[in-house]
């Protein structure tokens, strides 16, 4: 068979050794992950980072011994936290003086500046990033929703609509992408009527309009027809038997002014805080947005900045590796534009993109974020092994 088939040149020329080659290629990532690479060499998350997440999520010992194995002096951009000479006391749970209110600090009021009818102060500054039902399984989505309920946090639904697992007790931020899944008409355009009907049955605390995400900015998504079950078809309001396409751009608005009109309309009809999520590329958009906020009084209630290092279910390599600024450059660039216009306090800044570790979250807060969202770290907490498949 190998000698006459025409799909694989290696198997045609080397029918025995070729199979060993493909086998080694298939298990290569696992061999490198567990045998070859050092504790800090893997990407996107090192073995040390994964071990910390696994131990923390299981409430096991997450301490490390014998000092750091990082190169503190020669690594470009290595993050160092300047500690205080007289740090504040931080008692642990069960110790005298422990106060859960200070163990998990609350965030800025969402929707307070624009006086939204359902403005609120999130209980936690740490929430989960957008991961939709369809990219994650039912069990994973439900586990995250139950987890945020326990933690007093919020779960971002991702752009796949609101599914039954999102109704497991936790608060949600409904992300609406360019496909308007769960709030679209038969032609795939936005439907306010369906959005309001869905919100009547879900614990939606805010709405996030997705302009782009860090791992595939400026690119729509595809859910293959083979993955569209009757349940997903019902949730997303898409037909069975054909690929589910998310276009690159929104059809409900096409520029900054019409986007702000759409945001104000959603906030008025629902009473919820409404924000945007975007990776950072062309800065003219952000300059125009800051100018419009300053001059028109219209504004998103929050802005989620996603870094180019953000995760995804699947993306073209050139997008995930080379499109959009990394988080540190993206957030600082946008924050400066807003600060120069004096409108940086008018919105809540949320950071996203590998911010699930304490030092990265502290950096995000220092750069101007009020809250941070974590995604892949939450996935690892429920069992992901970074197989990248």
What are the tens digits of pLDDT across the range 273-317?
999 999 999 999 999 999 999 999 899 999 999 998 877 777 777
Helices 192-199 and 256-270, axial angle in degrees (round to 10): 40
What CA–CA distance (Å, rounded) separates 152 from 136?
A: 22
In the Cβ-directed half-sphere of 219, how many Cα atoms lie within 13 Å?
Answer: 17
Average pLDDT score over residue span 93-102:
77
Mean pLDDT across the chain: 89
Write the pLDDT tens digit of every residue in 113-151: 889 999 999 999 999 999 988 888 899 999 999 999 998
What's the N-to-C CA distance of the chain in angstroms? 28
The closest of 137, 184, 197 to 165, measured between CA atoms, is 137
Q: According to the model, what pLDDT value does residue 95 have?
A: 87
Average pLDDT score over residue span 17-43:
78
| Greatest extent of the chain over all pairs of C-alpha atoms, in Å | 76
Indicate the burial class of 180 (C-beta count within 10 angstroms; 0-12, 13-18, 19 or more): buried
Q: According to the model, what pLDDT value does residue 246 have?
A: 83
Q: Would you state the structure tokens that stand for residue 123, as one six-digit string? A: 């209980």
pLDDT band with cut points at 50, 70 and 90 for residue 242: confident
Q: According to the model, what pLDDT value does residue 388 have?
A: 74
Please enumerate in sequence order all residues whose Cβ is within 8 A of that of 368, keeping only pairs 6 or more positions apart, or say none: 331, 332, 335, 339, 344, 349
Q: According to the model, what pLDDT value does residue 104 have?
A: 65
Average pLDDT score over residue span 7-30:
84
Q: Are 209 and 263 in contact (CB under 8 A)?
A: yes
pLDDT band with cut points at 50, 70 and 90 for residue 101: low
Q: Are 351 and 371 in contact (CB under 8 A)?
A: yes
φ/ψ of 207, rounded to 5, equals -120, 135
Cα separation values, 161 from 113, 190, 212, 290, 353, Å: 27, 13, 16, 29, 22
Q: Residue 265: in which H helix or E strand, if any? A: helix 256-270
Average pLDDT score over residue span 192-199:
95
């Amino acid at each position: 068979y190998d000698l006459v088939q025409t799909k694989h040149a290696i198997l045609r020329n080397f029918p025995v050794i070729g199979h060993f080659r493909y086998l080694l290629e298939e298990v290569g990532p696992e061999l490198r992950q567990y045998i070859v690479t050092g504790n800090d060499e893997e990407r996107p998350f090192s073995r040390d980072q994964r071990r910390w997440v696994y131990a923390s999520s299981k409430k096991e010992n997450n301490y490390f011994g014998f000092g750091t194995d990082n190169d503190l002096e020669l690594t470009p951009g290595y993050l160092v936290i300047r500690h205080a000479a007289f740090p504040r006391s931080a008692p642990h749970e069960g110790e005298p003086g422990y106060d859960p209110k200070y163990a998990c600090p609350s965030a800025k009021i969402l929707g307070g500046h624009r006086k939204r009818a359902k403005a609120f102060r999130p209980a936690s500054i740490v929430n989960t990033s957008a991961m939709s039902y369809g990219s994650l399984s039912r069990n994973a989505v439900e586990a995250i929703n139950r987890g945020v309920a326990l933690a007093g946090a919020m779960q971002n639904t991702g752009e796949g609509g609101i599914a039954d697992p999102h109704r497991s007790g936790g608060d949600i931020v409904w992300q609406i992408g360019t496909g308007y899944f769960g709030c679209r008409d038969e032609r795939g355009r936005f439907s306010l009527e369906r959005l309001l009907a869905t919100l009547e049955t879900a614990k939606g605390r805010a709405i996030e309009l997705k302009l782009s995400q860090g791992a595939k900015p400026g690119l729509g998504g595809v859910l293959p027809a083979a993955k569209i079950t009757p349940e997903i078809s019902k949730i997303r309001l898409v037909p069975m038997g054909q690929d589910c396409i998310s276009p690159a751009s929104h059809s409900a608005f096409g520029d900054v002014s019409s986007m702000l009109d759409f945001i104000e309309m959603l906030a008025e009809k629902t009473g919820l805080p409404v924000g945007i999520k975007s990776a950072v590329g062309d800065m003219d958009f952000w300059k125009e947005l800051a100018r419009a906020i300053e001059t028109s009084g219209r504004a998103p209630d929050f802005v989620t900045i996603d870094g180019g290092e953000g995760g995804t279910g699947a993306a073209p390599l050139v997008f995930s590796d080379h499109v959009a600024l990394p988080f540190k450059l993206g957030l600082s660039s946008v924050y400066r534009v807003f600060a120069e216009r004096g409108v940086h306090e008018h919105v809540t800044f949320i950071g996203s993109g590998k911010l699930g570790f304490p030092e990265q979250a502290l950096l995000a807060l220092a750069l101007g974020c009020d809250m941070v969202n974590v995604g892949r770290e939450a996935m690892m907490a429920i069992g992901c092994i970074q197989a990248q498949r």
